[in-house]
Amino acid sequence: MDFGTEFKPLTVQPQEIEGLSFKMIDEEFGEHPFSQDEYKVVQRVIHASADFDLGRSMQFYPGAVEAGIRAIRNGEQVYADVQMIESGVSKGRIEKHGGSVNVFISDKDVMEEAKRLNTTRAIISVRKALKQFDGGIYAIGNAPTALLELIRLIKAGEAKPSLVIGLPVGFVSAPESKEELAKLDVPFITNIGRKGGSTITVAALNAISLLAEKA
């Protein structure tokens, strides 16, 4: 291998890099069962992870993407389980319609209540989100306990989210929480298995906000 040869990128223009990446994804991913809008989400998930198996593992409730688009355009709020999602999301496309991205996991009252009840901050932050707003988009990419608590509240009739993006990563309860989400009769975007994470959740949410902007 000749390490003396200087490597030059194909392009340094951001839009060209993204366009070329998506073209490569399309060519390698090939035929798929996803709708046009669902594939936009899958495409960005793969773009964020370079993981085609993760892309193929994505699952969508019928009309889930359209439900997310409506929620954003109607100015509904977004709840995220961790700050990393808030940092990565293109908030401008959500805020222009009156929505915002909310994270409660580090709030003082959440930390105190979690300590008092000897439970996770993720669980308490979901409960706080439910008190703050009706409907909305719940974007969970880190904490399976947050997703499981949301599922419990949905089953109890206490939560009626417009869309659940449930993509927590991990070994303990992450695959199971997504399996339980996929059984619900609510709009959801999830995947099968241990893979996922905040970056993947951001990619899915950004894809939906882009579709909302073009709708």
Which residue numbers are catalytic?
47
CA–CA separation, 192 and 56 (whole Å): 9
CA–CA separation, 188 and 98 (whole Å): 22
81-84: long-range contacts at Cβ-Cβ below 8 A with a sequence spacing of 24 or more? 81/105, 81/122, 81/125, 81/126, 81/139, 81/140, 81/141, 81/142, 81/143, 81/146, 81/168, 82/141, 82/142, 82/143, 82/198, 84/141, 84/142, 84/198, 84/199, 84/202
